[in-house]
Amino acid sequence: GSAGDDVLAAAEQLILGRPTEEPSAKEDWAREAREAQIAGLEDQIAALQKRCASLQKRLDTKPIIGHQSDPLNLEIGSHGHPTTSQGVLAHPRVQQAVHVLKGFTHRLLRSEALLLFFFAHVFVLYAIVFVHFTGGSTAPKDCLHMQLTEGSTGSKTLAISP
């Protein structure tokens, strides 16, 4: 009988959720360690929330830069340029060319690689022009000679000779 009663009592305690015996010292230590870890994490969360709030305040005091859709005012039809609606710049082909060039500029400004490639390209073109006009020599005596001559009718002409 008493063994059967003990088994029934243990089963009843398990079903009802009551512990069968007092928690051991090992279980108490593990529970206290978890509670200490949770308290430490809550302290870290509070410190991070405080830091986030202070950084947000600092950010709110700074002026907003670069949130415009067109910070360099490159959009076609942007106001403030009276020459775009007058003369040659009002021609549809010129406006189309301006639109294409502004789109190209936007793409260059968005990508550092494209921008560096563009500057390298311009540098190479300047070097080619320099070499062409100097005939491959950089000596001052070999550079271009310009001469302004006045014709018999009084008109002035510029003659360039290597």
Closest CA to 74 of 105, 115, 95, 96: 105
Q: Helix or strand or coil: residue 152?
A: coil
Which among 46-55, 65-74, 108-117 has the top mean pLDDT?
46-55
Q: Are 149 and 157 in contact (CB under 8 A)?
A: yes
Digit-coded pLDDT (tens) for 135-153: 765 555 555 555 555 656 6
Q: What's this model's pTM, rounded to 2 decimal places?
A: 0.33
Q: What is the SS3 assignment for 23?
A: coil
pLDDT digits (tens, 9 = 90+) for 71-113: 566 555 554 454 455 677 778 888 899 889 988 888 888 888 8
| Closest-CA residue to 134 (of 109, 162, 107, 156) | 162
Tell me the per-residue pLDDT of 55-64, one tens digit each, with 9 for 90 and over. 999 888 877 6
C-beta separation of 159 from 149 below 8 A: yes
